[in-house]
Amino acid sequence: MYQLMVSFMGVYFSGQGAGQMFSFASSFTKATQAANYYFWLSELEPTIQETDSNKEKGPAKDCHSYDFKNVQFSYPLAPDNRVLKGVSLTIERGEFVAFIGASGCGKSTMISLLERFYDPTSGSIIIDSAASLTSINPLLYRSNIALVQQEPTLFPGSIRENISLGIDISVSETVSDSVIEEACRGANAWDFICSMPDGLNTQSGASGSQLSGGQRQRIAIARALVRKPNVILLDEATSALDTESERVIQASLMEAASTGDRITIAVAHRLSTVREANRIFVFYNGRIVEAGTHSELIEKDGMYAKMCEAQRLDGDP
């Protein structure tokens, strides 16, 4: 009887334990894959990085101007598809510049070049009319820049944490609420954050799933503004917003641009977004076909005028 009980219990419980363990069998393979991916990722050598020769070379403090000289570009994975076919333009400090054009004509590519995610295939980008962008330290350069992407990424965590991520601080420090509030007001996000029961502590969920598209965009803009950047790049940053909210954000961006010498570069499909821009560059098929202010371009009666016409809703004048 004793032997029966011992062997029965032994087989029973070890079987149960083994069953529990093997229910995680699929996780073993996932964990192996994830670990391999992580090791692969950490071994990658970025082509654009801080090196001994460019370590000290940063852009001049709060002075930025860009000079694109016949910039051509194709993505490394698709070298035959020339995305930019000779773009030349200058952007002065304090300017609000807009890139517009049909989908796929290379606007986001221009933004990637300005962020230095890629270097031009040929031609050059000169900043501060002195240094080529390829010669300076990407870390120092990017510390002056803020980007709001076409589809902004939010991280799991509270709204406060998401906005604080815009500032380069160590883990132990926290960003004061007044700084966050100022950035949120600039992005017209403060009112909706206050209306939530948990305020800044509201959880944003996995990739911001608890928030609406427009709220996500405004938090992304606040995260960009909290850096107090010299250059702010907005790639369709207000596309999910109603015109009124967009106008408020625009006004605060314009104000910041005129007081500090901040360069604002906006990409937009909705032309009302860029109406007030100092200069509008119209892209077509990887080239700039028109440039000027809203009224100049309307007078010219070219591509921009046609696009404006196509976006009018009220029919005949």
Ligand X SMILES: Nc1ncnc2c1ncn2[C@@H]1O[C@H](COP(=O)(O)OP(=O)(O)OP(=O)(O)O)[C@@H](O)[C@H]1O
Question: Which does residue 105 bind out of Mg ion, ligand X, none, counting CB within 5 to 8 angstroms by kind?
Answer: ligand X
Element holding 145 (H helix, E strand): strand 145-148
| Closer Cβ to ligand X, 27 or 122, answer by number | 122
| Residue 138 binds to ligand X (criterion: CB under 6 A) | no
Q: Is 19 exposed, middle or buried (0-12, 13-18, 19+ CB in 10 A)?
A: exposed
| Closer Cβ to ligand X, 106 or 208, answer by number | 106
Stretch 144-173 residues interacting with ligand X (CB under 6 A): 150
Size of the site for Mg ion (CB under 5 A): 1
Stretch 23-62 residues interacting with ligand X (CB under 6 A): none
| Residue 108 binds to Mg ion (criterion: CB under 5 A) | yes
Question: Which does residue 75 bind out of Mg ion, ligand X, none, counting CB within 5 to 8 angstroms by kind?
Answer: ligand X
Give the residue carrying structure tokens 């694109």.
68
- Provide the greatest CA pair distance for the chain: 103
| Closer Cβ to ligand X, 25 or 78, answer by number | 78
Q: How far is CA 130 from CA 40, 124, 126, 136, in A?
A: 38, 12, 6, 11
Q: How far is CA 59 from CA 48, 109, 146, 148, 233, in A?
A: 16, 22, 15, 21, 17
Least distance CB 241 / Mg ion (angstroms): 17
CB 219 within 8 A of CB 189: yes
Stretch 56-85 residues interacting with ligand X (CB under 6 A): 75, 77-78, 83
Question: Which does residue 54 bind out of Mg ion, ligand X, none, counting CB within 5 to 8 angstroms by kind?
Answer: none
Give the residue carrying structure tokens 């970025």.
46
Question: Which does residue 189 bind out of Mg ion, ligand X, none, counting CB within 5 to 8 angstroms by kind?
Answer: none
CB 274 within 8 A of CB 98: yes
Handedness of CA 43, 49, 170, 198 (dihedral sign): negative
Q: What whole-number distance in Å separates Cα of residue 90 and Cα of residue 67? A: 4
Size of the site for ligand X (CB under 6 A): 12
Q: What whole-number distance in Å separates Cα of residue 75 and Cα of residue 84? A: 10
Stretch 28-47 residues interacting with Mg ion (CB under 5 A): none
Q: What whole-number distance in Å separates Cα of residue 40 and Cα of residue 302? A: 50
**Cβ-closest residue to Mg ion?**
108
Contact window for Mg ion (CB under 5 A) among 13-21, 64-72, 107-115, 271-279: 107-115
Contact window for Mg ion (CB under 5 A) among 56-64, 104-112, 192-200, 258-266: 104-112
| Closer Cβ to ligand X, 4 or 41, answer by number | 41
Handedness of CA 182, 184, 189, 191 (dihedral sign): negative
Stretch 92-131 residues interacting with ligand X (CB under 6 A): 103-109
Least distance CB 147 / Mg ion (angstroms): 12
Contact footprint for ligand X (CB under 6 A)? 75, 77-78, 83, 103-109, 150
